[in-house]
Amino acid sequence: MLLGCHPSAPPSAAAVPDGDTTSPGAGATTIAEDSPPAAAERRVHLTFDDAPVMSEPGDGLPGPERVMAINEAIVGTLRERDVPASVFFNCSRLQPHERSVELWAAAGLTVGNHTDTHAKLSKVPLDEWMDDVIRCDQVLRERLPRPPHWFRYPYLDQGDRVELRDEAARRLAELGYANAHVTVATTEWLLAYVYREASRRGDEALRDEVVAAYRQHMVEAVEQGWALAEHEVGHGTAQVALLHVNELAADHLGEVIDDLRARGWTLVGLEEALDDPVFDRPDHYAGRGGLSWLARIHDESEPRPSYWFGEEEARLMQRYGELWRPPAGE
Ligand SMILES: [Zn+2]
């Protein structure tokens, strides 16, 4: 069974640190000491999870032709606009007659491992979870010209205990993997479900509304990542945004890229983004929440700022949650 990156958990639990009771405006802003980047350039890297295509329980996998059409549309948009994005596969979803892994790799984009079945680290024994990682690793090695190096944790769950977190990271490193951190923990997956539902109903007004919400959400999320960095680090840092392979991106990713560029964002590759020193900071979080890296590095002796990504997820769930799972039989 597969899920999008976050939908299985209630929004508050998925997005907000366990035990976090801070609210907007709680605590004075404390700026950590650090030297600012040489250029105050606003850089963001786009990543696409749950390849070859995002889905949820009860959904059948689209046929290989449809899967390829969605991937071709996204890769085509990225190439057309010269965006060095990355993609993370759940290998158990690959079908014999589709070549989505090869498509992304041939376009010069970064292809990474997102486990075979989208297993949640805190929910399964570590050995079992590692087997899931290794199964996908083997598939990717067969399909890629070079062994994969980047890993994305399903649900951004890096383990609910420090020992589990550190042992999983150690074993991943042993396999040759590094963590493709996320700073911009979006709720684009929910909008993608609603977009598909609007298409199914032939509701063009809803489709238009969701596209507008997607564009607004993506730009605001990236800018909120920057604001969170300013709070935690003292200045903006390179951002890594989480999207998924879905129909919404296939149809409208180009507008999001244009919007980001119009706001002064430069789209950079994964290695350039992760080279930012912010990713060398210690991880202070162990828990099941799918948090931004910028929330994970928060110094617990300081007041925690309000977590926009959690608030935004709650807001979008309030507006669109009922359309995410339409009543049976409708
Ligand atoms: Zn995922």
Query: What's the mean pLDDT in 277-286?
Result: 97
Centre of ligand 1 from the C-alpha of residue 199, in Å:
23
pLDDT of residue 165: 98
pTM (2 decimals)? 0.88
- Quote the pLDDT of residue 59: 72
As a whole number of angstroms, the distance between CA 211 and CA 179 comes to 30
- Residue 29's alpha-carbon distances to 23, 201, 236, 303, 306, in angstroms, are 13, 46, 15, 8, 11
Separation of 154 CA from ligand 1 center, angstroms? 4
Distance 114 CA to ligand 1 centre (A): 7
Q: Measure 6 CA to ligand 1 centroid, in angstroms.
A: 7
| Tokens encoding 298 | 């928060």
Which pLDDT belongs to residue 18?
35
Give 330 Cα–ligand 1 centroid separation in angstroms. Answer: 28
Domains of the chain: 41-324 (3.20.20.370)
Lowest model confidence (mean pLDDT) among 23-32, 136-145, 189-198, 235-244: 23-32
What's the Cα-to-Cα distance from 151 to each of 4, 71, 173, 184, 292, rounded to whole Å? 16, 20, 10, 17, 16
CA angle 258, 260, 261 (to 5 degrees): 65
Burial of 93 (0-12, 13-18, 19+ CB in 10 A): buried
With 70 as the cut, is the pLDDT of residue 220 above it? yes
Whole-number Å distance, alpha carbon 310 to ligand 1 midpoint, is 17
Mean local confidence (pLDDT), 279-295: 95
Tell whether the model's pLDDT for residue 137 goes beyond 90: yes
178-179/239-244 β-pairing: unpaired
Confidence (pLDDT) at 324: 85
Burial of residue 110 (CB within 10 Å: 0-12, 13-18, 19+) is buried
Residue 180 Cα to ligand 1 midpoint, Å, equals: 12
- Report how far ligand 1's centroid is from the alpha carbon of 174 (Å): 22
* Reported confidence tier of residue 69, pLDDT bands at 50, 70, 90: very high
State the distance from the centre of ligand 1 to the C-alpha of 31, rounded, in angstroms.
32
Predicted confidence at residue 11, as pLDDT, reads 35
Give me the chain's average pLDDT, please.
Answer: 89
